Amino acid sequence: MTPTDLAEPFRVLVVCTGNICRSPAAERLLAAGLGAAYRGRDSAGGLTPAIEVGSAGTGALVGYPMTDEMAAMVAQLGVDPQGFEARQLAPGMVTQADLVLALTRRHRSAIVELVPSAVRRTFTLRELARLAGDVDLATLPGANATTADRLRALVPLAATRRGLSAHRLVDDDVVDPYRGDAALYRTSFGQLLPAVEAIVAAVRH
């Protein structure tokens, strides 16, 4: 491994449809929980971040900000929703990502169709949270490891847990709140936030 390899951040890509509700919220919440950088916020001192979180949409409303409803819920947790601009998912984004998190099984399928080699590192957000709960956290790198080290180790371990326990497939999806009422936004946020928290807890234990 060269010094250049070591300097590369661990890249997380979050994907939904329009890239204005679910995936930007998950992007900002994951970045905050993991101490990561995201588009529009570089790490302190201009150093290469250890983890970088971005998002995109399979049918993005390119250039749009996060919806007001979702931005308000993100901000209530003390996380900055500002400066976000939606972007369209492209193969290169998937290829460069070390972990791809889809908001539904349909998005996950679309990602893998776009870049088949990404199948082992592509999960739905809630799926990874569920699988992380099945992983023996003692098998992750120990006290001297970084959050990036543990997240990197979690991905293949979680992939090996697929199909080993029964669950409802619908529980791997986060409902789309776009153009819905406040209750639907709360439902959507209530599905994605615990998943983000579970992933963060697994690698920051």
- pLDDT tens readout for residues 151-174: 999 999 999 998 877 777 878 999
Neighbours of 79 (CB within 10 A): 16
Q: What is the pLDDT of residue 108?
A: 97
| DSSP assignment string, 29-97 | HHHHHHT-EETTBPPGGGPPPSEEEEEEETT--TT----HHHHHHHHHTT---TT----B--HHHHHH-
For residue 136, what is the enclosing H or E element?
Answer: none
The pLDDT assigned to 170 comes to: 78
What would the pLDDT profile of 18-41 be if each residue is shown by its tens digit? 999 999 999 999 999 999 998 766
What's the pLDDT tens digit per position in 39-52?
Answer: 766 544 556 689 99
**Residue that wins the pLDDT comparison between 205 and 75:** 75
**Cα–Cα dist 9/98, whole Å:** 9
Domains of the chain plus CATH, in order, are 8-203 (3.40.50.2300)
- DSSP helix/strand/coil, 178: coil
